[in-house]
């Protein structure tokens, strides 16, 4: 009896995670430019992935070690990849959404890239 209650909670968490992952995918289609797509796609999904993994942890407790490793791995790699994608798209001058309010990066970007070249 107790076991099945925990399993149901786990299943609900996995379902919630799947809903967040779906919303992330929907965001990829709806957002107007690269930077906003990165926001929706790579990150509305963080909570989705975490909820799925926690739900799985409740259903199959024996996998705890690997699941914790997965969470740590996502915590470290996910922000790095979204940062690099955003910076690389800025470097090759992917246009921003026309309703973009402010772009403070533009003023300094030339100076920053020069600095990077000198460091290499």
Partner 1 sequence: MKIKSQFALFVVLMIVWFLINNSFQIEIVIIGAVLSFIISLIFGRRTDVLNEFKFTPAAFFYTLVYLLVFFVELIKSNIDVALRVIKPSLPINPGIVKTKTVLKSKMARMILTNSITLTPGTLTVDIDDDILYIHWIDVESDDIDVATEKIVKKFEKILVKIYG
CB of 56 to partner 1, least distance (A): 15
Region binding partner 1 by CB under 8 A among candidate stretches 1-9, 20-28, 52-60 = 20-28
The answer to whether residue 78 forms part of the interface with partner 1 (CB under 8 A) is yes
Segment 25 to 54, residues that bind partner 1, using CB under 8 A:
26-27, 30-33, 35-36, 38-40, 43-44, 46-47, 50
Cα–Cα distance list, 103 to 63, 82, 100, 109, 119 (Å):
45, 18, 8, 11, 25
Among residues 99, 110, 117, 118, which is the contact residue for partner 1, using CB under 8 A? Answer: 99
- Of the candidates 59, 84, 57, 41, the residue with the CA atom closest to the CA atom of residue 5: 59
Q: State which H helix or E strand residue 75 sits in.
A: helix 64-91
Contacts of 6 (CB under 8 A, 6+ apart): 58, 59
Phi, psi of 102 (to 5 degrees): -150, 145
Residues that bind partner 1 (CB under 8 A): 20, 23-24, 26-27, 30-33, 35-36, 38-40, 43-44, 46-47, 50, 62, 64-66, 68-69, 75-76, 78-80, 82-83, 86-87, 90, 96-97, 99-106, 108-109, 112, 115
């Amino acid at each position: 009896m107790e076991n099945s209650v925990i399993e149901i909670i786990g299943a609900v968490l996995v379902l919630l995670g799947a809903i967040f992952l779906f919303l992330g995918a929907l965001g990829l289609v709806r957002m107007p430019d690269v930077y906003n797509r990165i926001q929706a796609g790579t990150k509305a999904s963080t909570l989705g992935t975490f909820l799925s993994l926690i739900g799985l942890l409740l259903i199959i407790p024996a996998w705890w070690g690997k699941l914790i490793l997965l969470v740590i791995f996502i915590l470290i790699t996910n922000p790095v990849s979204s940062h690099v994608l955003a910076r690389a798209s800025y470097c090759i001058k992917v246009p921003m959404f026309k309703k973009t309010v402010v772009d403070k990066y533009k003023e300094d970007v030339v100076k920053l890239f020069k600095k990077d070249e000198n460091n290499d």
